[in-house]
Structure 1
Amino acid sequence: MARPKKPKPMHAQEKLTFLLSLVPFLIERERVSVTEVAEHFAVDPEQIREAVRLIAVSGVPGETNTYQYEDLFDIAWDDFEDNDQIVLTNQVALDDSPRFSAREAAALIAGLQYLSSLPENADRAAVASLMAKLSRGASAHPSPLAVERTESDATLALIRESVAGGTQLEFDYLGSRGQRERRRVDPLRVESMDADWYLRGWDHLRSAVRTFRLDRISNPRVSSEPISHRASDVTLPDTLFETSDDDLVVTVDVANSAVALLADYIPDGADREQLDGRVRTTLRVSHYHGLKRLMASMAGVATVVDPPEARRAVAEWAAAGAARYQEDPS
């Protein structure tokens, strides 16, 4: 009868990597069999037993630079010897590592909840696992919370369905000039800028990549037509907005520290004149309504200089907003 082959010995580097992976694996599962661990790491069960015995005599010396009981890992030896079960009963130095506060963990979990709704984040099981780990690893239990749904959530859900099914998405779109057209696109990517969300997709009406703001999309539906373009098939521009011959040119003064915030709107080769801590340059916008929103997001750091109709549009819009906060004279 042939003797079973001995497991191939690990080199020092391989053994260190293996141990560094094994410890967090054991901690996360609390109780696990030797067989299960061996299958997970694709090694012989005896190698797992040897590693556990090594872990049990490993640790970090205390303030006296000597090893006391609490400075070493420990396991439930009876379970290990009699039942081939691994249970860590003492963990070294891990509880002393920095942890997120309950508020920090809650903020991260809220962000992950929102990200999990986006179509490109297909592996939502991994996101859910990360949220659970954040909750367990915080210094205190995070406050229960939920991210408020927005009007764009239903559209995001259909985009996700379209991406998962590999089918085209159809919708009515309100363009920058006020025209409404039925569009049919292959969804490629969802991106955000400030408080707005945008869909970038291959537009079959224009036979090119186009950007659509989600709050201008209405009556969306997933079609039965398969997509013909994927994100890996086309080159997406680095900037979110593409210029066109119909764009309006606006001159602005912007603080040096805020120029990067307008990078998507400043055309390549635009002049930039330094004026006492500010830069005078030009933007390209599709309409003045979008310019009003843009300037409102940069109050105090950007000013419209020219043309006069652009200045007037922004000033009137700001005045109308301020008037709503004035007290009723009656």
Structure 2
Amino acid sequence: MDIKPRLHFRQLERFTWIHAEIQSGRFPNTCSIAEKFEISRKTAQETIAFMRDRFNLPLAYSGRQRGFYYTEPVHSLPWLTLTEGEVAAILIAERLAQAYAGGLSSDIANVLVKVVQSFTDRVSVDLTHLLNAQSVEPLPTSSINHEHFKALLQAIAQHKRIYMNYFTQSSGETKARKLDPLHLHSARAEWYVIGFDHLRNKVLDFHLGRIREITVLDETFEPPTGFDIERYLARGFGMIRGDGQLYDVVVQFDAYQARWIRQQSKVHKTALYEDLPDGGLRVTMQVGALEGVKQWVMQYGAHVQVVAPPALRDLVRREAEALLAHYSDAAKEAT
């Protein structure tokens, strides 16, 4: 899946190196290019041809110097000059990284600064204007440890088991856990590590902000047989996984609320939207976590109705009754 991006970056690296060599007064040739990047001379020649023919660079070969040079001045490579819109996009990305990238926010910000500095020879963009023209109001999120994030990335890439002290919200206790980390996942601006937990003997989600200590062990592991991250994520709702059973969920929004629901991205990977004659909207999906769906439905109050399954209707009804009782009691106390 990631072969093409890797090849693309290798090509960019070759283009950039050849350009830098020529600008420095050296004369790179197919031998030096092949040796530098451990490629064949044929591939090196194809790289030169691509730069000359596709990017219209004034490349020529000097028999005396036994290498390539520019026949006229070249200030920058064609893709190394950013437009104002591109710089604006990078600034937005930097602010989003600061807001939501968790343990990698500072690394991403530093990379984006280098991109602007390296890819734009002459910047005629008013950065102050661009900065003042945009803002990001982040959702409330939990802070996570930068080193924990990097350790998990390493462990996942190398299939290394980890040992961690983890605080469990429901019990209020911190316990030692041995985990085979499989995937890092961000949901609603919070970061989780999904992994096989040796204490519970199954795949679970762990919030990065609740990890107190972490150690990457020398032990390696193999992912559980048949584990598929896409199926795992799709069976739940948000970060609530449920009991493993899948439910056919049907909810209907009235015409008022439907206008907002339509403009949002789909609430679940399996969600299907159907316009109703009265302007309302029917949403059907297959999920395995009714508690998560209940929380989503409740935020829309009387503008949404659960059609199916009956178990979800009961969950919403009990929650509504408890809410009504709470406010009824408060009203009695006030009088």
TM-score (norm 1): 0.53
Contact 1:168 1:184 in 2 (8 A): yes
**1:176-325 correspondence to structure 2 within 5 Å:** 177-178=170-171, 180=173, 182=175, 183-215=177-209, 217-222=210-215, 224=217, 226-230=219-223, 234-240=227-233, 241=236, 242-244=241-243, 252-254=251-253, 255=258, 257=262, 261-263=266-268, 276=278, 277-279=280-282, 285=289, 292=295, 294=296, 303=304, 306=313, 307-311=316-320
1:245-302 per-position Cα deviation (integer Å, ceiling 9, x unaligned): 7999998544463796332698xxx9x99684222668765758x955x468x76997
d(CA) in 2 for partners of 1:129, 1:195: 21
Amino acid at match of 1:170: M
Normalized per residue, which structure has more helix?
2
d(CA) in 2 for partners of 1:192, 1:295: 22
Q: Structure 2 regions of 5+ residues with no counterpart? A: 1-10, 307-312, 328-335
Q: Which residue of 1 aligns with 2:74?
A: 90
Please tell me the root mean square deviation across aligned C-alpha atoms, in Å: 5.9
Measure how far apart 1:193 and its partner are. Answer: 1.7
Amino acid at match of 1:203: D
Measure how far apart 1:244 and its partner are. Answer: 0.8
Residue aligned with 1:311, SS: helix
Measure how far apart 1:45 and its partner are. Answer: 12
d(CA) in 1 for partners of 2:174, 2:27: 61
d(CA) in 2 for partners of 1:152, 1:38: 44
d(CA) in 2 for partners of 1:249, 1:178: 31
Contact 2:142 2:190 in 1 (8 A): no
Contact 2:18 2:28 in 1 (8 A): no
Residue aligned with 2:90, SS: helix
d(CA) in 2 for partners of 1:258, 1:157: 36
Contact 1:203 1:210 in 2 (8 A): yes
Q: Which residue of 2 aligns with 1:152?
A: 144
Select 2:41's aligned residue among 30, 35, 43. 43
Contact 1:101 1:140 in 2 (8 A): no
Residue aligned with 1:105, SS: helix
Q: Structure 1 regions of 5+ residues with no counterpart? A: 1-18, 61-71, 119-123, 320-330
Are residues 234 and 227 of structure 1, via their aligned partners in 2, closer, same or farther at CA, if it must alter by over 3 Å? farther
Amino acid at match of 2:35: E
d(CA) in 2 for partners of 1:23, 1:159: 34
Measure how far apart 1:157 and its partner are. Answer: 3.5
TM-score (norm 2): 0.53
Are residues 291 and 258 of structure 1, via their aligned partners in 2, closer, same or farther at CA, if it must alter by over 3 Å? farther
Measure how far apart 1:167 and its partner are. Answer: 2.8
Contact 1:109 1:134 in 2 (8 A): no
Q: Which structure's CA Rg is the greater one?
A: 1
Are residues 197 and 34 of structure 1, via their aligned partners in 2, closer, same or farther at CA, if it must alter by over 3 Å? same
